[in-house]
A and B are shown apart, each in its own frame.
Chain A
Amino acid sequence: MNYEKFVNKTIQFISTGAKVETSQINSDTNLVGSGIVDSLLLTELILYVEDELECTIEVDDFRLATFETIDSIYSSYGQ
């Protein structure tokens, strides 16, 4: 999945899950730090990323920094 499509789809996913307007989320928004993504939504976001990017995210060594922004998610798992 290319970068543009991933960003748009992920903004939609987070917007629905967090019940916030899509305009509040950009590719460089700090997802957890801003309070938009809480621990529950983070779990769902990880499953969503695995499904969309067809990757496996190892729980054992999971680092929150890789999920700081949509950009950091894509650079960690989308390439």
Chain B
Amino acid sequence: MKQIDILLRASVQKKLNPLTDLPWNDAPSKDLFWMPEKLISIYGEPEYECLCDEKKLELSQLEFSLLCSVSSSGEKEVIANMATRMLKTKYRAFRRYFYHFIEEENNHIYMFTEFCERYGEYFPVLYPYVQGDIWDYTETGDLLTFAHVLIFEELGQGLNEVMAEDEAIPELVRAINDYHVQDEGRHISFGRSLVREFAGVTKSIVTKEEWSRLQRFVKEYISTRHNDYHNVKIYKTVGIKNALDLRSRLIEQRDESFFIKSPLAARRIKSLREFLIEIDMLSVEDDSVIQTEFKELQGVM
């Protein structure tokens, strides 16, 4: 609980306000990339090489709007899921931090959607949680929710860090990413504490079958987070033919290594997997496949 107190103090002391702290009137230039080329979803693919310079710029600008849309949509789900659980007695010890967490996530939604409204376009993202009530124990659903939040934030953090440090992209875009990185660092620490605390408890309650199913969900969730960053509408807008086929091909080929755009991101994702294995939310067999891909990827970075 000491860690929660530290995070709580940091949230209060480092309180940021996107309404007043960001250079909103500094319109990002259309002559610049809004995200580094290596972050563009089709960078390195033949379809990207075929685009003229003007279309490459447009693609980077649309995909930054997409990143804002995916982030705000995901954070909306985070708030909804956290709000549903925050007053449960068993989460009492975490409750004070939940208040700040939800406030900060709401600020992020404001920040990302405001950018889309002013300078870009909001791309609706469907989060079809259609399985409904599939768990025999409510604890499993709660734990999976906390794990989803953690994974969503840890993977996305790597993209924000690269953009926050890139001086070639517009100042407002950099500032938005820097703002997000600062808050998410605390949220990730909090998320790990929360998941660690309840993984052991949940595992001791639920059946082996339910726990195995949870592990499969975690594995699938990690390895499909990149899907939302591949957008058919955007590909069509910049003139790519067979956009759906391109998306299908790329999401099939890729996994969470899509988010490894820097050595720091590589270390974080490795650490995330080790953490999930340590608390047995990711099976070692699943990870052996991932580790092989990870080593190959590190070799080319």
Interface residues of A (CB under 8 A from B): 32, 38-40, 42-44, 46-48, 50-51, 58-60, 62, 64
Within 8 A of A (CB), among B83-133: 124-126, 128-131
Please name 10 pairs of A and B residues whose Cβ atoms are closer than 8 Å in the assembled complex, sorted by A: A38-B131, A39-B128, A40-B224, A47-B244, A48-B244, A50-B232, A58-B124, A59-B125, A59-B126, A64-B130
User: In the bound complex, how far is the Cα of B248 from the Cα of A47, in angstroms?
Assistant: 10
B220 interfacial by beta-carbon distance below 8 Å = yes
Asked whether, in the complex, the Cβ of B224 is within 8 Å of the Cβ of A47, the reply is: no
B196 interfacial by beta-carbon distance below 8 Å = no
Query: Among B126, B243, B244, which residue has its beta carbon within 8 angstroms of that of A62?
Result: B126
CB distance from B124 to the nearest CB of A (A): 4
CB distance from B74 to the nearest CB of A (A): 14
User: In the bound complex, how far is the Cα of B130 from the Cα of A46, in angstroms?
Assistant: 13
Interface residues of B (CB under 8 A from A): 124-126, 128-131, 220, 224, 227, 232, 243-244, 247-248
Query: Among A42, A51, A60, A64, which residue has its beta carbon within 8 angstroms of that of B232?
Result: A51
Asked whether, in the complex, the Cβ of B125 is within 8 Å of the Cβ of A40, the reply is: no
Chain A residue at minimum C-beta to C-beta distance from B243: A51
Residues of B close to A50: CB separation below 8 A: 232
Q: Knowing A40-B220, A40-B227, A62-B126 are in contact, say whether A47-B247 is a contact too (CB < 8 A).
A: yes
CB distance from B148 to the nearest CB of A (A): 12
Chain B residue at minimum C-beta to C-beta distance from A16: B248
Residues of A close to B224: CB separation below 8 A: 40
Chain B residue at minimum C-beta to C-beta distance from A57: B126
Q: Knowing A39-B131, A51-B232 are in contact, say whether A44-B126 is a contact too (CB < 8 A).
A: no
CB distance from A63 to the nearest CB of B (A): 11
Asked whether, in the complex, the Cβ of B126 is within 8 Å of the Cβ of A43, the reply is: yes
Chain B residue at minimum C-beta to C-beta distance from A51: B244
User: In the bound complex, how far is the Cα of B227 from the Cα of A42, in angstroms?
Assistant: 13
Residues of B close to A46: CB separation below 8 A: 126
Query: Among B128, B131, B244, which residue has its beta carbon within 8 angstroms of that of A43?
Result: B128
Asked whether, in the complex, the Cβ of B124 is within 8 Å of the Cβ of A32, the reply is: no
Residues of B close to A44: CB separation below 8 A: 248
Chain A residue at minimum C-beta to C-beta distance from B124: A59
CB distance from A55 to the nearest CB of B (A): 13
Asked whether, in the complex, the Cβ of B128 is within 8 Å of the Cβ of A42, the reply is: yes
CB distance from B251 to the nearest CB of A (A): 8
